[in-house]
Amino acid sequence: MPVTTNYENGKCFARYGKEGHKYFYQCGDESSKEEAKKKAVEQGQAIIINEGPIKYVELKKWRNNANSSNVNKIMYNDEIKELVIKFNSGDIYTYSNIEFDSFRDIVEGNAVCVTSGDSKWGSWDVGKTPSVGAAVFKYLVERGATYRKEGTLR
């Protein structure tokens, strides 16, 4: 599926296919347009992987590494609304009854850090955004998501 660019309500955006997340950019600014298109391509590369009867979405590779000082990998099973997170510590947690929108918000780091700190995997400051770790707190912990301390990323 190709990356498309479009204009809506006075804003320009790029997205993967017809239903992908919209990455907004400054209309007329080729540099920001190319950056938005790049993000849309990365989204497209990560959307759906089929494994037998189970479909799941795998965290974008560029988020698997240094872009989170808290989260190493994440997987979402849309058939049973289950989210599995492997933290940098090695702990794996499985969250139940999670909507796809919450998964997307976590992957995209749609939250702002409210604390500062650092670990061997990186540092974070109050106000940092996007933040996958802050999104895990906002969309799972604060909402009291049901979880168990185990799981698999297969």
Domain ranges of the chain: 3-46, 49-148
Torsions phi, psi for 93 (to 5 deg): -125, 140
Q: Per-residue pLDDT averaged across 140-153, rounded?
A: 88
Long-range pairs of 47-52 with CB within 8 A, sequence gap ≥ 24 = 47/16, 47/20, 51/154
Q: What is the pLDDT of residue 103?
A: 85
Model confidence pLDDT, tens digit, residues 29-72:
888 888 888 887 776 655 444 344 434 444 433 233 336 788 88
Q: Is the pLDDT of residue 154 over 80?
A: no
Give the predicted TM-score (pTM) of the model: 0.56
Q: What is the spatial distance between Cα 30 and Cα 9, in angstroms, rounded to a whole number?
A: 19
Mean pLDDT of 91-108: 87
- pLDDT band at 144; cut points 50, 70, 90: very high
**So what's the pLDDT on residue 75?**
83
User: Which pLDDT belongs to residue 78?
Assistant: 75
Computed over every residue of the chain, the mean pLDDT equals 77
